[in-house]
Structure 1
Amino acid sequence: MEPGSRRGHEQQLVNRIAVDAYHTAASLLLKSGDAPSAWISAERSMAAARRVGDPAAIATASRILTHAVAAVGHCRQGVGVAVRGADEVSAAVNSSQPDMVAVFGALLLRGAWAASAANDRDTASALLDEAERAAALMEESNRRWTAFGPNNVLLHKLTIALTLGDAGKALVEARRVKVRTLAVAERRAVFWTDVARALHACGRTQKATTALLAAEREAPQEVRSRRVVRELIGELLTRDRRGQAPLLRPLASRAGIPL
C-alpha cells in the first residue's frame, strides 16, 4: 500500500471510530441529563460520518443527533434530522445487509419518538409504519447496538402512544409486545417502565408498582437512576398515602427517594 493510500485508510478508520465514540458520549450525556453537551457530541458524530460517507455511519449519527436535538427541546427540528437522514440512506437498505436495516430502522423509530414529542401524530405514525416495513426484513437482534426488530417497533408504538397522551392505547399496544424476545435488558426495563406510566395514568397504583418492580429486575440501574422513573415513583408515593401498594416504599428506598 502506498504511503498516501495508507494515510487515507488510517484516517477513514479514525473517522469510523469517531462516529461511534461521539455517539456513545452523546448517549451517556443524554442519560445524565446534559442534552446541550449531548448535542455537541452528536454533531461531531455526524461530522465524522460525513467524512466516512458510509450510509450506515450516516444513519447512526443521524439517530443520535435526532435524539439530542429533540432532548434540547427542538422536537420538530429533530424530526427533520431523522427524515433527511432516512431519505439519504434509504437506497442502501435491503435484506442482505441486516446491519444497515438495523441502523435505518432505529433512526426511523427515533424520528417517530421526536414527532410524538412534537405532538405530530401523522408523522409519528408514518415513521412507525416505515420502521415496521424495515423490521420485516430481519429478525429480532441487537445489531449495531440498536436492539432493532419487530418487537422493538411494537415497544415504540407503546411509548409513542404514551407520549401522545393515550394511556389506554399504550396498554393495548403493550399486550402485543413479546417482552422476553426484546434483545436487551434495558429495552425490557423500558417496556415495564412504560407500562407502569400507562397504569399510573389510569389510576392503577398497585399494578404500576408491580410493573416497576419488573423493570427493576431487568435493569436495576434504569429504575434507580433515570429521572423519569424516579419522578414516577414519587408520584405513586403521593397517590398511595394509605400504603395500599406495600412494595412501593422499599422500591423508593432503593431508588434513594425520600419517603
Structure 2
Amino acid sequence: MMDVIDVLAMQREKRSSLQKSITMDYTSSNDSFTVARFIFECGMKLEAHPLTVATAATLYHRFIRESTAKAYDHYLIAATCLYLAAKIKDDLLKIRDVMNVASNTLHRGSQPLELGDQYWSIRDAIVQAELLVMRMLKFHVNPVHPHKYLLHYLRSLQAWFGEDEWSKYPVAKTSMALLQDFHHVPAILDYPPNLIAIACINLTLQIYGVVVPLMDECDQLPWFNVFLQGSHQGEAVGNNGEDHELLRSGTRDPRCPLNLFE
C-alpha cells in the first residue's frame, strides 16, 4: 500500500504551497469545520503523521459533543487535542512547537512566543486542558480509526483487480484523501469505522468509473458485501447514493477540497 503511505510525503511536499494558499481567518469563526481545518493546517506545518491529525480531529469533535461548546476556547482545545494525539500515536511533537505553530496559525505573521508570562500561561492552559479533555472523554482517547479497515480493504481489492489494472487509477490515494477530509465534520463520529472505510472506497470507485472485476458472477451483490458478512451495514452503502450522503458534509463544502488536490 505504498500509495497510501505516499499521502504523508504528499502532505510534506505541499506544505509551502499550503502556507501561501490558505488565507482562512480562524479568529472570525469557531464552528466545528473551521476548527478542524485549523487542526489539519497545524498538523501539516508540524509534519505530523496523518493518523495523528485524524486522532486530534476525532478527539476535538468528541469533546465538543460531550461539552457545552460555548464554555471553552475552541482553538485551545484544538491545540490540546493535537498535542494529546501526538502522545497517543507516539508522534514526537514538542509542546513548544505546537504552541508556536498554533499561535502563528491563529494570528498570522506573529513572532514565536517569548519565554515570558504569555508563554507559560499558554503552556499551563494546554496542560490543564489536556487533563480536562481526558476526563471529559473518560480516558477513552485512542479511538478505533477507519484507516486500518481502509488499508485491509484496499489490499484485498488490489489482489482482486490485479496489479496492472489497479495501477491505472489512484484509488488508494483518493480513498485516503476522502477519509482524511471526512474528519473535518462531527459526522465522523456517527458511523462505524469499517462502514466509513467502505464508503470512501465505494465513492472513489464511482468517481473514476471503475467496476470491480467479476461482479457479474456475484448474484448482483455489491463488492463490499464480502467484508460485511453477518451484518446489516451493507444496506447503508451504495444504496440510492447513501454513501454520497455519508461523506456529503466532508466533501461538498467548498472550503474542504480533497487533500490530494490542495
Give TM-score, length-normalised by structure 1. Answer: 0.29
Superposition TM-score, scaled by structure 2 size: 0.28
**Larger RCO, structures 1/2 (Cα 8 Å, 6+ apart):** 2
Structure whose residues are more often helix by fraction? 1
